[in-house]
């Protein structure tokens, strides 16, 4: 809980007078300094180039496309203009902040007319609060509506969560979601194909009340890697139906739709700067497999990705005996970069996803690695609790279109 301050109380009163809703957020107690993979649900406040969006979150533009199953092999992806109102998942590293909450910290260079409130509620879509930003920057007694000098570099803390990468004993990536006007727990659950019960339990909600500005986390079923701890992409987890690019953009990994085994192949943009993706003592490349019918079943030999170390792509060749030969690998469908905010990603009812294209050859044969991470071996989920968070309501009242 933030320390009680008279100024805060006053502002809270003011906020309550303007809009009688207090936003709340799900906090995750934590101690480890190791960041874990998380995602933020973010709605664009203006038309933004993908590169601008990526800069807001210090994220790789390709990683954002991949996390949304948007074709990341299109030419000049970073120059694509994405429409205001579009909601995307942004993958972020999620670190421990102060023992009671997790955070991903980004830098924001303020523009003319920015206020703490507009940065929190508009630019960052309510994923942070004005007072959290002022605390993080040592700004004393700042009113949310105070104008920030243009060109100031602000450290902006954003809520995120990991909960051990597990939900109900199964691998999961946690998506931080800011409730919009009229959102209900049931609607959010349906949108992300989970249940209201699970959402309420994950967020430790006593009632299904959800107010605009409340921050909840949504567990997304995911494929989890089992790379060794010394790899740069240790802990990589990919939500069902989506992709990730890793190993310096040399490798792409996908999850689903058929099973939750991480499946990695050379990325469409992989070039000669990438280290070898061939399995040692074999002619097989990442993602290749061979099948051999024997009297005791189907012997499956596969070349799979084992993590990225010092510029080197680790590969492992494994052979497993299966009762039946697996069907050709299916990739999650990719959609073209959206040009309208009415677009919903693969999670929405429309449009019909296009067939895979641009380097993801649907005919490419492959099979997921046979090792399934043991769901019970991870750290136990941390305690979950919800506390009132100040000023979000006030922030929400301020609409800023800034320069756009």
Ligand X SMILES: *[C@@H]1O[C@H](CO)[C@@H](O)[C@H](O)[C@H]1NC(C)=O
Q: Is 310 in the site for ligand X (CB under 6 A)?
A: yes
Collapsing DSSP to helix, strand or coil, 217 comes out as: strand
Size of the site for ligand X (CB under 6 A): 18
Q: Which is nearer to ligand X, 91 or 266 (CB)?
A: 266
String of contacts with ligand X for each residue 203-222, x by CB under 6 A: ------------------x-
User: Residue 223's CB: how many other CB atoms inside 10 A?
Assistant: 27
Shortest approach of ligand X to residue 319 CB, angstroms? 12
Q: Which is nearer to ligand X, 258 or 388 (CB)?
A: 258
Shortest approach of ligand X to residue 232 CB, angstroms? 9
User: Residue 179's CB: how many other CB atoms inside 10 A?
Assistant: 21
Asked if 27 and 217 count as a contact pair (C-beta separation under 8 A), the reply is: no
Measured between alpha carbons, how far is 114 from 135 in angstroms, rounded to an integer? 17
Which sign, positive or negative, has the C-alpha torsion 288, 233, 126, 156?
Answer: negative
Shortest approach of ligand X to residue 284 CB, angstroms? 7
Q: Which of 108, 122, 104 is nearest to 159 (CA)?
A: 104
Scanning residues 342 to 401, which ones bind ligand X (CB under 6 A)? Answer: 364-365
Q: Is 338 in the site for ligand X (CB under 6 A)?
A: no
Which residue is associated with the tokens 């019918």?
A: 293
User: Residue 142's CB: how many other CB atoms inside 10 A?
Assistant: 17
Shortest approach of ligand X to residue 242 CB, angstroms? 9
Shortest approach of ligand X to residue 343 CB, angstroms? 17
String of contacts with ligand X for each residue 262-301, x by CB under 6 A: ---xx-------------xx---x-xx-------------
Asked if 30 and 153 count as a contact pair (C-beta separation under 8 A), the reply is: no
Q: Which is nearer to ligand X, 86 or 173 (CB)?
A: 173
Measured between alpha carbons, how far is 404 from 33 in angstroms, rounded to an integer? 38
DSSP string, 273-341: TSPP-BPTTSSPBTT-EEEEEETTEEEEEEEEEEEEETTEEEEEEEEEEESSPPPPP-PPP-BPPP-ST
Q: Which is nearer to ligand X, 130 or 221 (CB)?
A: 221
Asked if 179 and 211 count as a contact pair (C-beta separation under 8 A), the reply is: yes
Tell me the two tokens of residue 199.
């959402």
Measured between alpha carbons, how far is 291 from 404 in angstroms, rounded to an integer? 56
Q: Which is nearer to ligand X, 78 or 309 (CB)?
A: 309
Shortest approach of ligand X to residue 299 CB, angstroms? 16
- Return the residue of 8, 291, 309, 398 that touches ligand X, per CB under 6 A: 309
Collapsing DSSP to helix, strand or coil, 129 comes out as: coil
Which residue is associated with the tokens 């074709």?
A: 71
- Return the residue of 257, 362, 379, 388 that touches ligand X, per CB under 6 A: 257
- Return the residue of 126, 256, 268, 369 that touches ligand X, per CB under 6 A: 256
Q: Which is nearer to ligand X, 207 or 376 (CB)?
A: 376
Measured between alpha carbons, how far is 227 from 399 in angstroms, rounded to an integer? 44
User: Residue 284's CB: how many other CB atoms inside 10 A?
Assistant: 19
Pairing of β 48-49 and β 24-28? unpaired
Shortest approach of ligand X to residue 387 CB, angstroms? 30
Q: Which of 59, 80, 39, 41 is nearest to 337 (CA)?
A: 80
Q: Which is nearer to ligand X, 140 or 363 (CB)?
A: 363
Q: Is 78 in the site for ligand X (CB under 6 A)?
A: no
Task: Mark the segment that binds ligand X (CB under 6 A) among 40-48, 143-151, 171-179, 260-268.
Answer: 260-268
Q: Which is nearer to ligand X, 122 or 242 (CB)?
A: 242
String of contacts with ligand X for each residue 167-206, x by CB under 6 A: ----------------------------------------
- Return the residue of 173, 260, 367, 368 that touches ligand X, per CB under 6 A: 260
Shortest approach of ligand X to residue 390 CB, angstroms? 36
Q: Which is nearer to ligand X, 215 or 220 (CB)?
A: 220
Cis peptide before 310 (omega within 30 of 0): no
Q: Which residues bind ligand X (CB under 6 A)?
A: 221, 230, 240-241, 256-257, 260, 265-266, 280-281, 285, 287-288, 309-310, 364-365
């Amino acid at each position: 809980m933030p320390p009680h301050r008279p100024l805060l109380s006053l502002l809270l009163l003011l906020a309550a007078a303007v809009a009688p809703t207090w936003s709340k957020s799900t906090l995750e107690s934590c101690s480890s300094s190791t960041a874990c993979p998380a995602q933020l649900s973010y709605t664009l406040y203006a038309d933004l180039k993908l590169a601008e969006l990526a800069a807001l979150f210090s994220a790789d533009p390709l990683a954002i496309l991949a996390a949304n199953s948007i074709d990341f092999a299109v030419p000049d992806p970073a120059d694509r203009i994405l429409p205001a109102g579009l909601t995307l998942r942004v993958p972020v590293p999620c670190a421990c902040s102060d023992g009671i909450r997790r955070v991903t910290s980004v830098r924001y260079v303020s523009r003319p007319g920015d206020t703490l409130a507009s940065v929190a509620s508009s630019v960052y879509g309510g994923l942070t609060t004005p007072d959290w930003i002022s605390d993080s920057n040592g700004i004393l007694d700042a009113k949310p509506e105070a104008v920030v000098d243009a060109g100031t570099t602000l450290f902006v803390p954003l809520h995120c969560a990991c909960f051990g990468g597990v939900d109900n004993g199964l691998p999961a990536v946690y998506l931080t979601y800011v409730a919009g006007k009229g959102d209900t727990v049931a609607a959010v659950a349906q949108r992300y194909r989970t249940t209201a019960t699970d959402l309420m339990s994950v967020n430790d909600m006593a009632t299904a009340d959800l107010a605009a500005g409340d921050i909840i986390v949504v567990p997304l079923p995911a494929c989890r890697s089992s790379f060794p701890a010394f790899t740069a992409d240790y802990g990589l987890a990919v939500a069902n139906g989506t992709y990730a690019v890793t190993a310096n953009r040399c490798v792409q990994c996908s999850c689903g739709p058929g099973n939750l085994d991480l499946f990695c192949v050379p990325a469409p943009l992989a070039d000669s700067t990438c280290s070898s993706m061939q399995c040692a003592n074999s002619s097989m490349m990442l993602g290749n497999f061979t099948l051999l019918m024997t009297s005791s079943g189907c012997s499956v030999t596969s070349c799979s990705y084992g993590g990225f170390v010092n510029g080197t792509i680790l590969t492992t060749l494994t052979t497993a005996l299966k009762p039946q030969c697996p069907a050709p690998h299916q990739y999650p469908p990719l959609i073209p970069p959206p040009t309208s905010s009415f677009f919903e990603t693969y999670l929405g009812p429309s449009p019909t996803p296009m067939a895979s294209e641009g380097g993801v050859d649907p005919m490419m044969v492959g099979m997921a690695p046979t090792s399934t991470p043991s769901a019970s071996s991870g750290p136990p989920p941390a305690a979950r609790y919800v506390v009132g968070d100040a000023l979000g309501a006030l922030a929400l009242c301020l609409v800023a279109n800034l320069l756009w």
